[in-house]
């Protein structure tokens, strides 16, 4: 590396006051303007990418003219170095200040935070994302009088990504947002809000809000919610500051403050509450006649219980709307615009006549609860022959049907499901039908293996022998006696015929059902002598949707929904039931109770999702210089009182609904009379024709 020259441009280098990975910062003094000192940042690298980044940093910073951003005087090249000349801030960086003091008092930390937030909000408004907010890039003069944001070396302008490397982590470890770990291109202005929240914690605690450094690389841990200041040993700081830091360090970008100014305003509001003893009502002109003050409204349960998970941008827009409509002049402009929209029917210059007495701002919330029910029908016992006993050799505990894992739900969709075998429920038993031999006794032969054959009756074996003996004797007689010869053959046959018939003995044949074996194949165990018995159940899923909204007297919710756009402010899911904090919101608790009415021992809720949207509404109380004389009470005279009107300004659109009270009835009566006159004249003309 070449040695540094004594002069760079019109500045003489005096001493090194800072050093980065690829650059050094030197204190320098102007050649002619001896009282002008400057900080000159000199690029050490000759790499083309680093030169482009260095040049772009100077270009971006020179376009940002803000009291809390370090101004750029000059930028150029003096071989072999590229350099940038900027204002010298005596005192060093916030990191140096913390190294000296450990931690800062709350008032000084709040001042530095406020200044850095203002600079960051200005940069974001001009489309610049810093991407490296850390204690090393915030400069603080010795007494804290001035605070300046510096080092836009890896900043990105909206719509210009030519210098951003995909999948490359850039920034200071410990101050990186979860998006930094994804890719440099995933970093947005909300990532700067995250890093600024880490800076606030470090100023108050002197350490990171984790016991490790979250991010990538060796030793890096997961991104997680921050520790509380109390856990870091910090005392004397309002507990609400922890809430602000948790919001800024929300893992989901949408749950962070939408801008740095919103975070600074939240901190200022906390500090004012803890430092002031009186509050001043706003929105009521000093000259207006006083009315009975309304007690301050408690925060809505949504804003109080679910604050950490609310999407902050719409809530911040509602706050800005409330601030604007707390000005009587803004309300007067709206009333005048309402009058001009239909000049023939509405009172003219309603805003000029109205004297605003009170404004009340509230949000009306709509709740949508999506529920996915899972039904597991009672367990059934199923058996089958033990053909594949060798395939199931795993030993495990028998699970309850609600312990059996099922496919994850496909969102809030109905599923027909199916039949599932319960793990650990398989049993091998001996078939009690065949007594474990695989065969049962043949019902036809009763195990004798034979059955009688079906044949016609026959003479018994003994009957033919007697007949034959008689015939033989007769023949002998005929041969020995002359008289015997006179006997006819028919007589002998008749003698045989007169012998009684004897039943034939049965003929046995093999049993055709069992093939002469005495047993048949056991159909229950399929001949294997064993049964596999296991338990199953049928499951299915069905989704449901339930809705509700806040019901406030005097508010036409139907008109509100038709004409105003709801802004989503909350969307969270819960597995196996509902989040406990949901029950703290009355409208949601009612939906949960309705959802639970459908539960039974066979049905449970496995997934739920709560979505909350809202529309801001402003109630205004005013009079139109109209006086009402009250009734006399006895002899005591009562003073006249102004007639007070209550009306509503609806939505972010700032709409005023039609109201009969503010129509121009005199003009309407005149128009009606004129119309009737014309109609009568036409009718008479027609009759005269």
Position 636 scores a pLDDT of: 54
The model's pTM = 0.73
Based on the residue annotation, tell me whether 400 is a catalytic residue of this protein: no
**Residues 16-44: pLDDT tens digits?**
877 766 778 888 888 788 778 888 888 88
Here the tokens at position 14 are 């005096």
Position 288 scores a pLDDT of: 40
Q: In the block, which residue shows the tokens 């019901």?
A: 551
Position 289 scores a pLDDT of: 40
Q: Which of 52, 74, 96, 132 is catalytic?
A: 132
Q: What is the distance between the alpha carbons of residues 447 and 168, in angstroms, rounded to a whole number?
A: 84
Contacts by residues 153-158 (CB-CB < 8 Å, ≥ 24 positions apart): 153/53, 153/54, 153/57, 154/53, 154/184, 155/56, 155/57, 155/60, 155/123, 155/128, 155/129, 155/130, 155/131, 156/128, 156/129, 156/131, 156/187, 157/60, 157/127, 157/128, 157/129, 158/127, 158/128, 158/129
Position 391 scores a pLDDT of: 61
**Low pLDDT (below 50) residues in the chain:** 1, 161-167, 277-296, 458-467, 471, 481-489, 491-492, 494-496
**Residues 120-140: pLDDT tens digits?**
999 998 888 888 899 988 999
**Residues 602-650: pLDDT tens digits?**
999 999 999 999 999 999 999 887 766 555 555 555 566 778 899 999 9
Position 41 scores a pLDDT of: 85
Position 194 scores a pLDDT of: 95
On the 0-12 / 13-18 / 19+ scale of CB atoms within 10 A, 436 is middle
**Residues 380-436: pLDDT tens digits?**
999 989 887 656 567 788 999 999 999 999 999 999 999 999 988 888 899 999 988
């Amino acid at each position: 590396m070449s040695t540094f020259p004594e002069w760079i441009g019109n500045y003489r280098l005096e001493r090194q006051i800072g050093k980065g990975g690829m650059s050094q910062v030197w204190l320098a003094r102007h050649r002619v303007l001896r009282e002008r000192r400057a900080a000159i940042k000199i690029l050490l690298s000759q790499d083309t990418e680093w030169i482009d980044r260095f040049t772009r940093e100077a270009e971006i910073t020179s376009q940002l003219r803000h009291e809390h951003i370090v101004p750029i005087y000059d930028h150029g090249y003096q071989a072999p170095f590229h350099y940038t000349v900027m204002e010298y801030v005596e005192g060093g960086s916030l990191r140096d200040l913390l190294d000296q003091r450990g931690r800062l008092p709350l008032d000084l930390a709040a001042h530095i935070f406020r200044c850095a937030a203002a600079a960051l909000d200005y940069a974001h408004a001009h489309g610049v994302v810093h991407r490296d907010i850390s204690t090393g890039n915030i400069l603080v003069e010795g007494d804290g009088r001035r605070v300046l944001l510096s080092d836009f070396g890896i900043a990105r302008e909206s719509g210009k990504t030519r210098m951003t490397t995909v999948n490359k982590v850039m920034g200071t470890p410990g101050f990186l947002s979860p998006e930094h770990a994804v890719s440099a291109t995933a970093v947005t202005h909300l990532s700067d809000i995250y890093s600024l929240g880490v800076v606030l914690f470090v100023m108050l605690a002197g350490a990171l809000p984790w016991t490790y450094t979250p991010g990538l690389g060796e030793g890096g841990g997961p991104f997680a919610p921050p520790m509380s200041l109390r856990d870091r040993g910090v005392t004397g700081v309002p507990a609400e500051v922890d809430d602000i830091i948790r919001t800024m360090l929300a893992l989901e970008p949408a749950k962070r403050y939408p801008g740095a100014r919103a975070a600074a305003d939240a901190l200022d509001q906390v500090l004012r509450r803890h430092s002031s003893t009186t509050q001043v009502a706003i929105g009521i002109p000093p000259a207006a006649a006083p009315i009975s003050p309304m007690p301050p409204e408690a925060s809505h349960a949504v804003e109080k219980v679910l604050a950490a998970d609310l999407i902050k941008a719409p809530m911040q827009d509602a706050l800005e709307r409330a601030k604007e409509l707390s000005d009587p002049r803004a309300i007067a402009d709206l009333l005048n615009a309402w009058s001009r929209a239909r000049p023939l029917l509405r009172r003219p210059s309603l805003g000029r006549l109205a004297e605003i007495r009170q404004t009340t701002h509230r949000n009306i919330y709509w709740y949508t609860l999506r529920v996915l029910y899972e039904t597991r029908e009672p367990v059934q016992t199923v058996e089958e022959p033990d053909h594949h006993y060798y395939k199931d050799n795993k030993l495990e505990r028998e699970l309850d049907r609600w312990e059996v894992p099922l496919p994850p739900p496909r969102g809030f969709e109905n599923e027909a499901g199916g039949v599932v075998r319960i793990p650990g429920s398989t049993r091998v038993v001996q078939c009690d039908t065949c007594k474990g031999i695989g065969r049962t006794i043949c019902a036809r032969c009763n195990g004798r293996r034979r059955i009688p054959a079906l044949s016609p009756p026959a003479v018994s074996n003994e009957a033919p022998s007697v007949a034959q003996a008689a015939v033989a004797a007769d023949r002998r007689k005929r041969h020995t006696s002359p008289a015997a010869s006179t006997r006819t053959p028919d007589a002998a046959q008749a003698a045989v015929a007169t012998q009684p018939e004897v039943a034939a003995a049965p003929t046995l044949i093999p049993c055709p059902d069992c093939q002469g074996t005495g047993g048949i194949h056991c159909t229950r165990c399929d001949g294997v002598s064993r049964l596999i018995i296991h338990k199953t159940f049928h499951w299915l899923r069905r989704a449901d949707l339930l809705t509700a909204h806040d019901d406030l007297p005097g508010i036409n919710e139907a008109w509100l929904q038709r004409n105003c756009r709801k802004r989503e402010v909350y969307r969270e899911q819960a597995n196996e039931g509902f989040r406990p904090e949901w029950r703290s919101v009355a409208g949601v608790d009612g939906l949960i109770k309705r959802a639970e009415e459908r539960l039974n021992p066979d049905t449970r809720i496995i997934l739920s999702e709560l979505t909350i949207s809202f529309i801001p509404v402003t109630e205004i109380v005013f009079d139109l210089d109209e006086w009402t004389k009250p009734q006399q009470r006895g002899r005591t005279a009562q003073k006249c009182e102004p007639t007070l009107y209550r009306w509503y300004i609806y939505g972010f659109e700032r709409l005023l609904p039609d109201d009969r009270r503010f129509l121009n009835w005199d003009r309407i009566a005149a128009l009606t009379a004129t119309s009737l006159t014309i109609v009568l004249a036409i009718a008479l003309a027609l009759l005269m024709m």
